[in-house]
A and B are shown apart, each in its own frame.
Chain A
Amino acid sequence: MTGLLPTPETLAALVKIGLLIGGLMTAAAYLVLVERWIAAWVQDRRGPNRVGIPLTKIRLFGLGQPLADGLKIIFKEDFTPSHVDKALYNAAPLVLLTASLAIFAAIPFGSVLPPLNIPGLPDPVPFLVAPGLDVGVLWVFALSSIAIYGVLLGGWASNNKYGFLGGLRSSAQLIAYEIPLGLGLLGVVLSAGSLRLDIIMTKQAETGLWYAFAQPLGFVVFLIASFAEAARLPFDLPEAEQELVGGYHTEYAGIKLLLFLVSEFLHMVTAAFLIVIMFLGGWHFWGITGSTQEVTWLGAFLRFGILSAKIFAVILFFMVVRWSWPRFRFDQLMNLAWKVMLPLGLLNLVVVATVEEFRTILEFTLGTGLAAFFTIGGPWLIFFGGWICAGLLTPSATDNRPIRTPNSFTQTQNLQNSSIKKQSPDLVEV
């Protein structure tokens, strides 16, 4: 009989899964509200501030809005167009949401709990659904690639040209940006010597040097690529409303659309988690959280709070950027990925590998202080140099208008009558 009972470890994992899914779903709902607020404030409006506690007049600054939005979209007709591939059409949102949620199995959402002394449960309990998963980062990237299938399936099964174009765009874009994303990540993995996200955080806490400061080039490349991975403006081409109606979810309505939209926000949350964990020190903050595995209850929740605050700040940055920058054109997007981000990511990898290779020798010969000057100053120098080179060498805009040659004008002048020439004398001189 005891074999059938769940072990304390399983129970702990189930509790964590429950907390995580509940937290993420609530967070996604409230992020929609935050997104609408930010959008309104940037456009000098007030944003949703009416819906409060249902059946009362209490408004609570509109904090009841997610509930109202959710209920509304759930009770909408779940309409399936007749021209779609039914099986794939129904599977797409599920694939996307499952993949987006499963990513969080390997993402730590805090540090560790203090010893609980529950028999059968190894202490300390980490804030991580799958503790000790040695391929944590690979798991995250593999599943975020699978999430693309959801988008592709949705676009394909819709049997609609907008949906199809959205799916095509998202496949091209996400494949292109996974490479710089991976290159930015490789630098961190090289430095930390582990693929486990909790160890990457602990490494940053131990040295006190966040990888954003040690590898500025990797950070910027990763940041830009994660904007594209999350399909946020300025890279939201898969669902560019003005061009594609809704992109891959044009044909979806009701709860299936809700699943798509929630996973979109989960993508952004994942991107924010990864940025914070890998480059912004995770739960570490100088002078507030220690770097050891021994924590008090206060310390554990302080670390959780700091991680959440950082993630929220990154998400706010995502949202503000949305209203600061216009959308890229698709060829510009591809140019940026293959001609700017890829070389810069490779450069970062070379720099990090060099620094890691010679760090011990430098520290031995020059002393820790001077060595730190070189190992931190060098990457920054390369960052500015590399950025300026990339800016100057790559065409920042592709002019695809027909080329105006003197020849084409002289030819047409012979054909055109003279009255047109008189109207535009400046053109004749060209």
Chain B
Amino acid sequence: MKPSDPGITWIDEKPLGLAERLYLPLFIQGLATTGRHLVSKKNTVSFPEQRPTIGNPLIYRGVHRLNRDENDRVKCVACFLCATACPAHCIDIVATESPWEDREKYPESFQIDELRCIFCGMCEEACPVDAIELTSLLDLTGKSREEMVFDKEKLLSVYDMTKDAEPMKSADLGGTL
């Protein structure tokens, strides 16, 4: 495009005033800004010893948990909706016939590969019985890949760990109990 092209809108720079031409007033202004920031409150969270504040833990997407019902049984009915919804294919369910009368199936094994998981929350959305939920636990670490594949017991223990701080969302949010 040529500089003379009529498609170009030319915007003239504002002519410099006296303060700008003398450099020093603006220099002092800049130093004042820097000085203000030098002593201002720092926003950094010093992580391990200082925990970040999570706005609403009920909608935070951290480590998964498998909820228990009032009889301490796993709530999951092994319908595979979460595994189907999962974009990362990280949920692996082996279903078997339920020993209880109120449902047909239950998960014999329920594994989530936390390393593959992208924490999108689709499983939580898909679950018809609100059995799988994402907690606000955010510092998920492990020493091996195998350790990061969470099985049913581990997911249930996450529920036991977090049930007081984060009650099941179902009742308030109009879910099925």
A-side interface residues toward B, CB under 8 Å? 38, 41-46, 49, 320-321, 323-325, 387-388, 391-392, 396-397, 399, 401-402, 404, 408-409, 411-413, 416, 420-421, 423-424, 426-428, 430
Contacts and interface: CB of A to CB of B under 8 A. Distances in A.
B4 interface: yes
B33 A324 contact: yes
B24 interface: yes
B128 to A, nearest CB: 46
A42 B34 contact: yes
Interface stretch (B9-17, B77-85, B89-97, B115-123): B9-17
A399 B6 CA distance: 20
A420 B31 contact: no
Given A42-B37, A44-B37, A396-B20, A324 B27 contact: yes
Interface stretch (B38-46, B62-70, B169-177): B38-46
Contact of B6 (A388, A391, A413): A413
Given A321-B31, A324-B27, A324-B34, A396 B6 contact: no
A399 B12 CA distance: 11
Nearest to A426: B9
B38 A408 contact: no
A41 B23 CA distance: 25
Interface residues of A, dominant DSSP: helix
Contacts of B51: none
Nearest to B4: A408
Contacts of B13: 397, 399
20 contacts: A44-B42, A45-B44, A49-B46, A320-B34, A320-B38, A321-B31, A324-B30, A324-B31, A325-B27, A325-B30, A388-B22, A391-B23, A396-B23, A399-B13, A402-B3, A404-B3, A412-B5, A416-B6, A420-B7, A430-B10
B2 interface: yes
Given A321-B31, A396-B20, A408 B3 contact: yes
Contacts of B31: 320-321, 324
Given A38-B38, A44-B43, 15 more contacts: A41-B42, A42-B37, A324-B27, A324-B33, A391-B21, A396-B20, A396-B21, A409-B6, A412-B4, A413-B6, A420-B6, A420-B7, A424-B6, A424-B9, A427-B6
A387 B22 contact: yes
Contact of B10 (A49, A388, A404, A413): A404
Interface residues of B, dominant DSSP: loop
B42 A46 contact: yes
Nearest to A424: B6
A396 B19 CA distance: 12
B35 interface: yes
Given A320-B31, A325-B30, A396-B16, A46 B6 contact: no
Contacts of A391: 18, 21-23
Contacts of A320: 31, 34-35, 38
Contact of A411 (B4, B20, B24, B46): B4
B44 A46 contact: yes
Contacts of A323: 34
B4 A409 contact: yes
Contacts of A404: 3-4, 10
Nearest to B45: A46
A75 to B, nearest CB: 26
Nearest to B3: A402
A427 B9 CA distance: 7
Contacts of A408: 3-4
A181 B112 CA distance: 68
A411 B3 CA distance: 12
A416 B8 CA distance: 13
Given A320-B35, A420-B6, A44 B22 contact: no
A298 B95 CA distance: 85
Contacts of A402: 3
A401 B3 contact: yes
Nearest to A316: B38
A46 B46 contact: yes
B49 to A, nearest CB: 10
A63 to B, nearest CB: 17
Contacts of B21: 391-392, 396
Nearest to A392: B21
Contacts of B7: 420, 423-424
Nearest to A401: B3
Contacts of B37: 41-44
A41 B33 contact: no
B22 A42 contact: no
A430 B10 CA distance: 10
A408 B6 CA distance: 10
